[in-house]
Amino acid sequence: MSCSYCWTKLLASLMGPTSCAHWETLPPQLVRPMSTKLLSRVSAFVEGIGIGSGVKISVATHTIPISGESSTLNPSLDGNQTDSALDAEALIQHRRQFSSLAGKRYFNYGGQGPMADSAIAALSDGQKTIQMKGPFSAEVYEWITEEGRLVRDAIASTLGVTAETITLTENVTVGCNIPMWGLPWKAGDHILMGDCEHPGIIAAVRELCRRYEVTVSTCPLSDLLQGGDPVEIIQQGLRAETRLVVISHILWNTGQVLPIKELAALCHDHSSKTRLLVDAAQSVGSLPLDQTGWRLSETEVDFYAFTGHKWLGGPAGLGGLYTRPAVFEETVPTYIGWRGVEVDGTGEPTGWESTGRKYEVATSDYSLWGSLREAIAVQDSWGDSQARYNRICSLSRKLWEGLREMLHVRCVLQDAPPPSGLVSFQLLDADGTPDFEQHGALAKQLEGEKIYVRTLLSPNCVRACVHYLTTAEEIDDLIIRIQTVAEKFGG
């Protein structure tokens, strides 16, 4: 009996992978964690169909992760597939690390991602370590220093950059404010901003303009909904006085991805003083930023501000900023503290830190560092970032296609699914007009059923976010519920 037959039978019975004389020919994406009990069932199954002498069951390589541990999984979803049986079973095993996902259908990853149990445990473990070692002891200071190094290394690896370029912040907004207030402004300088930016960034830009007599204009990136070219749109908005361009990598309201490498080249070719600041709230943890062609070090983006509590599934209160080395010297700190300065033998400040710590201030909740590092490690245990992104896009397409079939629903992106996990849509009344008042009613009703989406104001719509952790069944359930509610609203 052939290996292919053996594998087909095992696949059909959902018993898991085997290793045989031709183990290297088996698809690696089908390798998944297995318990000893399952292994014994596979052995019995194999013997039962008379091929026991030709198959060896590997126990050491494939083990079910216990609390606090993880094992590398290899999901097979690409951009055009849905869950296979083994993929679904492996995802269930992986999701068991997330007690916070139990009993709900969660589609709010763009607001805040659920944390793995081990990442939650790392928060209390960090606090206990500080207290047990002595909160202000030399031993704790050494521990804090090492924790900072480790989390910067983990973040840098995720972004495809070096740790020296990373500043630890509280969130995306703080990360954006560092370069906005740190650049050498003069009266008459110009800021170009996309029209799809978050209100927090818009407010900061307006205040900056008021204080420094800087001008601001917006470019219509919303025209991308009608097929506009983002490079051309931004090029048309540039002026001789443009000092800073502010955009998002993934537009938080539509899910569209901007080509930041091309946009960085456009800014730098326009003027040696024009800088590109990217709001990366929706991209870190979803886009494969450590892969060739995506790495920030390859894009030449000047500033990239992100958070750990959304797509990375880390704790709230910790984010970061990447600063391109070429613009490091000209960008000075606004908030200043002991973490960002160097001192001499008498304790006198002598200058800025020579790394991204230059923009860090003072005492933080250091337990957040180990928690985010653990959250990143849990994600990395599921394939690689490209596999996770492929899965996100596949599930996003599935949801988008389901919504497009509904008579009383209109997707914000009408011609193609979003190349990210953010899917936005509108409810239509009986005349086919968007019924904005019903968006809040839909979100409220779904939350009562423990299905979590959110509403947006511009464009006025409902947004559902899919993650690599999302299951195909969850999307099916969401589509059914939206269909039911939309038909009732539509009359």
- Of residues 379 and 488, the one with the higher pLDDT is 379
Residue range 195-204: mean pLDDT, rounded: 94
Is residue 430 very low, low, confident or very high in pLDDT (cuts 50, 70, 90)? confident
For residue 104, pLDDT over 50 is answered with yes
The answer to whether 321 and 167 are in contact (CB under 8 A) is: yes
State the number of CA atoms in the 13 A half-sphere of 324 facing the CB.
19
For residue 153, pLDDT over 80 is answered with yes
Is the Cα torsion angle 115, 118, 121, 127 positive or negative in sign? Answer: negative
β-partners of residue 426 are 410
What gap in Å lies between CA 339 and CA 334, rounded to an integer? Answer: 13
pLDDT of residue 261: 98
What are the strands, taking DSSP E only, across 96-165?
105-106
pLDDT of residue 488: 81
In this structure, the strands spanning 190-194 and 242-248 are: parallel
For residue 147, pLDDT over 70 is answered with yes
DSSP state letter for 434: B
3-class DSSP assignment, residue 194:
strand
The CB density around residue 96, as the number of other CB atoms within 10 Å, is 15
What gap in Å lies between CA 149 and CA 165, rounded to an integer? Answer: 12
3-class DSSP assignment, residue 56:
strand
The answer to whether 85 and 14 are in contact (CB under 8 A) is: yes
Question: What tokens were used for 22?
Answer: 């031709």
In this structure, the strands spanning 242-248 and 275-279 are: parallel
pLDDT of residue 52: 40
pLDDT of residue 61: 32
What gap in Å lies between CA 375 and CA 364, rounded to an integer? Answer: 19
Residue 304 has phi, psi (to 5 degrees) of -140, 105
For residue 109, pLDDT over 70 is answered with yes
In CATH, the architecture of 122-379 is: 3-Layer(aba) Sandwich (3.40)
For residue 40, pLDDT over 50 is answered with no
pLDDT of residue 58: 35
The answer to whether 276 and 326 are in contact (CB under 8 A) is: no
For residue 412, pLDDT over 80 is answered with yes
The answer to whether 328 and 321 are in contact (CB under 8 A) is: no
What gap in Å lies between CA 174 and CA 107, rounded to an integer? Answer: 25
What gap in Å lies between CA 145 and CA 155, rounded to an integer? Answer: 16
The answer to whether 95 and 469 are in contact (CB under 8 A) is: yes
pLDDT of residue 49: 39
What gap in Å lies between CA 314 and CA 288, rounded to an integer? Answer: 17
Residue range 413-423: mean pLDDT, rounded: 97
* Percent of the chain's residues with pLDDT above 70: 82
Residue range 6-27: mean pLDDT, rounded: 37
Mean confidence (pLDDT) of the chain: 86
Question: What tokens were used for 169?
Answer: 């912040």
Q: pTM for the complete prediction?
A: 0.83
pLDDT digits (tens, 9 = 90+) for 366-387: 999 999 999 999 999 999 999 9
- Of residues 153 and 18, the one with the higher pLDDT is 153
DSSP state letter for 17: -
What gap in Å lies between CA 27 and CA 29, rounded to an integer? Answer: 6
Is residue 89 very low, low, confident or very high in pLDDT (cuts 50, 70, 90)? confident
What gap in Å lies between CA 4 and CA 7, rounded to an integer? Answer: 5
Where are the domains positioned within the chain? 1-64, 122-379, 385-490
What gap in Å lies between CA 115 and CA 118, rounded to an integer? Answer: 8
State the number of CA atoms in the 13 A half-sphere of 16 facing the CB.
26
The answer to whether 231 and 224 are in contact (CB under 8 A) is: no
Lowest mean pLDDT among 79-93, 246-260, 302-316: 79-93
For residue 156, pLDDT over 80 is answered with yes
Lowest mean pLDDT among 35-39, 150-154, 177-181: 35-39
pLDDT of residue 32: 35
pLDDT of residue 487: 84
Domains 122-379 and 385-490 share a fold: no
Query: End-to-end distance of the chain based on CA atoms, in angstroms?
Result: 60
Is residue 489 very low, low, confident or very high in pLDDT (cuts 50, 70, 90)? confident
In this structure, the strands spanning 242-248 and 409-411 are: unpaired
- Of residues 33 and 202, the one with the higher pLDDT is 202
- What dihedral do alpha carbons 2, 5, 6, 12 form, nearest 10°? 180
pLDDT of residue 86: 67
pLDDT of residue 491: 56
Is residue 7 very low, low, confident or very high in pLDDT (cuts 50, 70, 90)? very low
pLDDT of residue 490: 65
Residue range 384-413: mean pLDDT, rounded: 96
In CATH, the architecture of 385-490 is: Alpha-Beta Complex (3.90)
* Percent of the chain's residues with pLDDT above 90: 77
Report how far apart, in Å, the C-alpha atoms of 465 and of each of 282, 308, 390, 404 are.
10, 16, 15, 16
pLDDT of residue 3: 42
pLDDT digits (tens, 9 = 90+) for 435-458: 888 999 999 999 999 999 999 999
Residue range 316-332: mean pLDDT, rounded: 98
pLDDT digits (tens, 9 = 90+) for 327-348: 999 999 999 999 999 999 999 9
pLDDT of residue 24: 35
Residue range 155-162: mean pLDDT, rounded: 97
Q: CA angle 18-20-22, nearest 5°?
A: 115
Residues 6+ apart with CB under 8 A from 67: 117, 118
